[in-house]
Amino acid sequence: MTKLPSATYPWSVAQLRIALAQVNSTVGDLDGNAASIVEWTRRAADAGAHLVAFPEMMLTGYPVEDLALRASFVEASRRALERLARTLADEGLGDLPVVTGHLGSRTGGDGGAGQPAGSPLNAAAWLHGGAVRVSSAKHHLPNYGVFDEYRIFVRGDRLPVVRVHGVDVATVICEDLWQDGGPASVTRAAGAGLLLAVNASPYERDKDDARLDLCARRAREAGCALAYVNMVGGQDELVFDGDSLIVGPDGTPLARAPQFTEHLLVTDLTLPAAEPGVPLRMHDTPVEAPDGSTITVDRHVLSAEPLPAYPAEPPTVAEPLDGLAEIYAALVLGTRDYVRKNGFRSVVLGLSGGIDSALVATIAADAIGPENVHAVLLPSRYSSEGSVVDAEELVKRQGVNGRTVPIAGMVEAFEKQLDLHGLAAENLQARIRANVWMALSNEHGHLVLTGGNKSELATGYSTLYGDSAGGFAPIKDVFKLTVWDLARWRNTQTGTGLPFLYPFAQEPIPDVIIEKEPSAELRPDQRDRDTLPEYTVLDPILADYVERDMGRDALVAAGHDPALVERAIRLVDIAEYKRRQYPPGPKITPKNFGRDRRLPITNRWREPSSRD
């Protein structure tokens, strides 16, 4: 092993037109994802690109979770990668280098006790001339939040540096960028002219700038331009927003793709040319990286000579969406992909006349078209007349399919057999409604959408197997105050032509639905505030407690009212089991009760109610 050599300076410059293919893949759809790679590679070739890059795990989809531990899936992935390389050549695309994420495995069997079976790798391959030229694995495996990569992958320890038209291009994968002193440092030492990172980095509210800042910092560490290609699309609870970008060696943004849509970001770069004649410097010699790991550079030459000078095209620099538009776009894409990737074409949902189900209906109409949305009005003896009228007005404005199924007779049939009071009687109505949705789902093949928001989910203000039932919960990760904000925002977008919105002729959500006081309408004159603190004070406490893991003392120190803090903590701490029963929904914050929040069900610990 040797110490890192210091960086050398470029001999001269070379041009390269790079295409970042920000595309949507589906977990397990090896053939479909391979076909997508061929199609987007053709587009890149048509655009005159010299190199095209696809996201992390593009060929298998991301995240594959425990599928990586199934030998037959790993083997199918290996064959799919080799077949893809041949197909690209057969289709006349063999000369265009393609970098793509895929599932690999370390040859030589298992890594020992406690290591993942078959030693799977989260890898990126260079395909060229009909063959897989080099593949290397992710160095840093994220194992926090939604990530479980220590469970299913072993670490990589090689850094490929591939010469393309006289430019040395190093490739790394996603989390490799988030650690200081790792492969980026070695990229600098190896004198690469471009660092290419393939990513499947999920959307998170306000994460956007962090990503650009990170790329800028890492480009400076690597001493060269950095091209970042990210996945787009929904996969279970994750939504990938794309936002692929390129920064110069000093961190200056050079190009940026639009969010939440497939896009080929084609950019002409002028890069340091590789020093000719010394392609093997540092090749195959383990070096100590500053992060403590040992990394071996893997040099390959696809084409040694720089291209003749050509006129560069101006780059695309898309503006990121602003706050509410970005969240709404994430919810629409997450909902659309969950419906379609699971083989559904239509959805059914209960429309109560309240704000939550109104927003969910609107998101669904934007996602899959109002003609595929089936709204059911399920009035009970406690439903106000306003609720029914307001729901009917929304059905009319949006052109979704509407149907009314009064539940009074069903409630009575249960009450004839059972003597129920209080919460038991309230919950019964919510469960009867869920039975109706599920019956319509089973009879007609619709996916059931659930209307619960994050505030009620966090506090347990919902009925198990009642309003919490369904296949997908579009606003699961949206606090109530944001539900109102999103509804108001959506109503301002009529005629703006944003590509992820359905072109309704008028405001899709009746104002009266936005303005009314929230109520579950399960007993006479019920109001949310009978049970919960006002959302204006509750939501900020929930954000600090649930998303930031602040304890009671920290919450009080942050300025929240001590009595309300106590009350919110009690509500949240006893709601854990209900949250586990919730269907998946698009994730937009650091913690949404899904895979990113794991707590024991049986837990006797309670936040201390005062300093002791």
Among residues 440 and 575, whose Cβ is nearest to its own copies? 440
Residue 518, both tokens: 């929230």
Other Cβ atoms within 10 Å of 46 Cβ, number: 11
* Span interacting with its own copies, options 11-19, 191-199, 203-211, 410-418, rule CB under 8 A: 410-418
* Span interacting with its own copies, options 161-169, 320-328, 535-543, 601-609, rule CB under 8 A: 601-609
* Span interacting with its own copies, options 126-134, 147-155, 187-195, 265-273, rule CB under 8 A: 147-155
Among residues 1 and 601, whose Cβ is nearest to its own copies? 601
35 in contact with its own copies (CB under 8 A): no
Residue 585, both tokens: 């929904």
* Residue 297 · residue 283 · CB < 8 Å: yes
User: Is there a binding annotation on residue 122?
Assistant: no
Min dist CB 252 to its own copies, Å, is: 24
Helix axis angle, 355-368 to 480-491, nearest 10° = 50
Instruction: Identify residues 527-586 at the interface with its own copies (CB under 8 A).
Output: 549, 551-554, 577, 581, 584
Size of the site for its own copies (CB under 8 A): 93
Q: Any idea which residue has 């895979």 for tokens?
A: 595
Instruction: Identify residues 149-178 at the interface with its own copies (CB under 8 A).
Output: 150-151, 175, 178
* Span interacting with its own copies, options 248-256, 337-345, 453-461, 518-526, rule CB under 8 A: 337-345
- Calculate the CA dihedral of residues 505, 509, 510, 513 and round it to 10 degrees: 180
Among residues 61 and 202, whose Cβ is nearest to its own copies? 61
Min dist CB 75 to its own copies, Å, is: 8
Q: Which residues pair with 472 in a beta bridge?
A: 449
Q: Which amino acid is at 560?
A: H
Contacts of 416 (CB under 8 A, 6+ apart): none
Task: Please tell me the distance from the alpha carbon of residue 215 to that of residue 221, in angstroms, as a whole number.
Answer: 10
Task: Please tell me the distance from the alpha carbon of residue 411 to that of residue 554, in angstroms, as a whole number.
Answer: 46
Among residues 131 and 413, whose Cβ is nearest to its own copies? 413
Eight-class DSSP state of 155: P
Whole-Å CA distances, 3 to 206, 230, 288, 353, 505? 39, 32, 6, 68, 66
Among positions 102, 140, 188, 579, the unique one binding its own copies when judged by CB under 8 A: 140
Min dist CB 543 to its own copies, Å, is: 15
Contacts of 561 (CB under 8 A, 6+ apart): 537
Min dist CB 463 to its own copies, Å, is: 9
Taking alpha carbons only, the member of 39, 127, 142, 120 closest to residue 81 is 127
Instruction: Identify residues 470-529 at the interface with its own copies (CB under 8 A).
Output: 471
Instruction: Identify residues 177-236 at the interface with its own copies (CB under 8 A).
Output: 178-180, 235-236
424 in contact with its own copies (CB under 8 A): yes
CA dihedral sign of residues 519, 522, 524, 530: negative
Among residues 76 and 89, whose Cβ is nearest to its own copies? 76
Tell me the DSSP string of 48-113.
T-SEEE--TTTTT-S--GGGGG-HHHHHHHHHHHHHHHHHHHHTT-TTS-EEEEEEEE-TT---ST
Task: Please tell me the distance from the alpha carbon of residue 512 to that of residue 58, in angstroms, as a whole number.
Answer: 45
User: Is there a binding annotation on residue 144?
Assistant: yes
* Residue 318 · residue 256 · CB < 8 Å: yes
Instruction: Identify residues 448-467 at the interface with its own copies (CB under 8 A).
Output: 464-465
Q: Which amino acid is at 483?
A: V
* Span interacting with its own copies, options 56-64, 165-173, 324-332, 363-371, rule CB under 8 A: 56-64
Instruction: Identify residues 75-94 at the interface with its own copies (CB under 8 A).
Output: 75-76
Among residues 85 and 486, whose Cβ is nearest to its own copies? 85
* Span interacting with its own copies, options 157-165, 361-369, 482-490, 604-612, rule CB under 8 A: 604-612
Among positions 12, 143, 506, 609, the unique one binding its own copies when judged by CB under 8 A: 143
The secondary structure element, H or E, covering residue 196 is strand 194-199
Among positions 414, 484, 489, 502, the unique one binding its own copies when judged by CB under 8 A: 414
69 in contact with its own copies (CB under 8 A): yes
Q: What three-state secondary structure class fits 297?
A: strand
Among positions 39, 46, 66, 305, the unique one binding its own copies when judged by CB under 8 A: 66
Residues annotated catalytic, as ranges:
56, 138, 174
Min dist CB 177 to its own copies, Å, is: 10
Min dist CB 605 to its own copies, Å, is: 3
Q: Which residues pair with 52 in a beta bridge?
A: 19, 98
Taking residues 102 to 121 in sequence order and writing x for each that binds its own copies by CB under 8 A, - otherwise, the string is ----------xxx-xx----
- Calculate the CA dihedral of residues 533, 534, 536, 542 and round it to 10 degrees: 30
User: Is there a binding annotation on residue 445?
Assistant: no
Among positions 325, 428, 513, 568, the unique one binding its own copies when judged by CB under 8 A: 428
Among positions 4, 13, 29, 261, the unique one binding its own copies when judged by CB under 8 A: 29
Residue 512, both tokens: 């009266």
User: Is there a binding annotation on residue 251?
Assistant: no
Q: Which residues pair with 126 in a beta bridge?
A: 99, 134
Among residues 281 and 597, whose Cβ is nearest to its own copies? 597
Min dist CB 390 to its own copies, Å, is: 22
Among positions 35, 210, 423, 505, the unique one binding its own copies when judged by CB under 8 A: 423
400 class by beta-carbon count within 10 Å (0-12 exposed, 13-18 middle, 19+ buried): buried
410 in contact with its own copies (CB under 8 A): yes
443 in contact with its own copies (CB under 8 A): yes
Task: Please tell me the distance from the alpha carbon of residue 147 to that of residue 155, in angstroms, as a whole number.
Answer: 14
* Residue 347 · residue 448 · CB < 8 Å: yes
Task: Return binding residues for ATP.
Answer: 350-357
Task: Return binding residues.
Answer: 144, 201, 207, 350-357, 427, 456, 578
Task: Return binding residues for L-glutamine.
Answer: 144, 201, 207
